[in-house]
Chains A and B, each alone.
Chain A
Amino acid sequence: NAGVTQTPKFQVLKTGQSMTLQCAQDMNHNSMYWYRQDPGMGLRLIYYSASEGTTDKGEVPNGYNVSRLNKREFSLRLESAAPSQTSVYFCASSEGAALSNQPQHFGDGTRLSIL
């Protein structure tokens, strides 16, 4: 039981390049989330998904797209990376309805640098 698995762990991109961050959970959770973490800013929600095929914007969605491919997988895509998107990205999942009173389980994070 691996919990929440994110790939890659590290990535360096040039401005304008695109890439997809992958996330998978094996806990049969309904809800999944993508956050970014910047120094002194805490965790900010980018997008979340309440179930397969549904996604909703969080606090900072601009510049990102997501896909809930199936119940296990939730990917985050940067179509044209910008230096302001340099951050640590965390995927999380939780039981029950999205944003409900259930604890979130986080992956190990992806450290993304945009040059």
Chain B
Amino acid sequence: GENVEQHPSTLSVQEGDSAVIKCTYSDSASNYFPWYKQELGKRPQLIIDIRSNVGEKKDQRIAVTLNKTAKHFSLHITETQPEDSAVYFCARRDDKIIFGKGTRLHILP
């Protein structure tokens, strides 16, 4: 339906390792896919976004990949650091914006 399925709901990785969060959707009209980071008690902040005419976008340690055929997009964080600990939300947009339910990322020392 209209939802965005986000997995996993919780993720723990060792500091320095990579983290991957995946979102799937069903509406092929979706054409914009932002990712937001929300630290505890803070506002959501955009960290990266991708539009449907692009397959991959990278910004330093963060990358997003989009597979429109399979209708999924993923957030990749490399060389994780303690400050990466937060809740991450994916979203998709067609004529409305729908957010995933979030992934709580823990970076273990």
Contacts and interface: CB of A to CB of B under 8 A. Distances in A.
Interface of A: 40-45, 58-59, 90, 99-101, 103-109
A1 to B, nearest CB: 15
B94 to A, nearest CB: 9
Contacts, number: 46
A44 to B, nearest CB: 7
Given A42-B102, A101-B51, A106 B97 contact: no
B22 interface: no
Interface string B24-42: 0000000110100000001
Interface of B: 6, 9, 31-32, 34, 42-46, 49, 51, 89, 91, 93, 95-102
Nearest to A35: B99
Contacts of A90: 43-44
A40 B43 contact: no
A105 B9 CA distance: 24
